[in-house]
Amino acid sequence: MTVMKATTPGRSARVGVAGQPGADLNGLLAEPRRMKILAWLQEEGSARVRDLSAAFAVSEATIRQDLEKLEADGHITRQHGGAFLRTVSRQVETMSLQHMENIDKKQKIGAKAASLVGDGETIILDAGSTTTEIAHQLLGRSSLTVITNALNIALLLGAAPGYAVHMPGGQFKGPTLSLSGDKAAEYFEDVYAGKLFLATAGVALDTGLTYPSFADLQLKQAMIRAASRVYLVADSTKINRSSFTRLGTLDVIHAFITDDGIRDEDARAFESRGVEVIIAR
């Protein structure tokens, strides 16, 4: 199947720091800030002190203190001017993802999402543990064209007969086993797909879709523009959770696939905003 240039844009996406415009990050207490820094490192693999200082609007001395505490707790290793996640080498060697909690919920979501894909379709799979479960459930289909920035998904589906698997270029991110950056985003300018299955760190009515760092926002925007229909896939523990940066409000997605842990009032609230809620049981 030919991968075609998009002729119609996806829903608009607005990028920014999660919360209200101009939110004061100086107000973050030390421990919540450290957890956000750790989430950043779990997404990116490494970070420089100056970049974290600018992002969190605190002094470099404060960031160094945060990194010292995270190192003492065994999460990271400091190096001159920054720090890196200790588990990255092992994750890459074993092709394992960082976030594998709630795997039973993710497997149900994966099966439900895969049931929405027909033979012969062209789809985009974002990187992530939930989208990896979708890929597992797609095995056995025929004549699928899959576009993904996730190396583990490409290896999984690329080994199956009858699949055409496409990947962008870009910078490799060890913790998510994915490709990111400007080159990856540019690739999707020449892509059209029927469906995108999009991952997120948090989703809420007020902040929309949020992520631990800035790095993938441009890429995710490009994926959204390249797809006719955008499915957000996230387990119910991510509902009403906000991470560090915002991709956009809920109008960037058409449907939300989650597990039966979603509260009835949350499901109604999402549907009142024009988002179809699909529950995996």
Q: pLDDT tens across 223-241, in order?
A: 999 999 999 999 999 999 9
9-53 residue pLDDT tens = 444 444 445 543 333 444 458 888 898 888 888 878 788 999 899
CA dist 118 and 142 (Å) reads 9
pLDDT of 7 > 80? The answer is: no
What percent of the chain stands above pLDDT 90?
A: 60
In terms of CATH architecture, what is 98-280? 3-Layer(aba) Sandwich (3.40)
Across the range 90-119, mean pLDDT stands at 85
Q: Please, which pLDDT band fits residue 86 given cuts at 50, 70 and 90?
A: confident
Q: Do 24-94 and 98-280 have matching folds?
A: no
Per-residue pLDDT at 231: 98
- Domain range list for the chain: 24-94, 98-280
Q: Which CATH number fits domain 24-94: 1.10.490.10, 3.30.1490.20, 1.10.10.10, 2.60.120.10?
A: 1.10.10.10
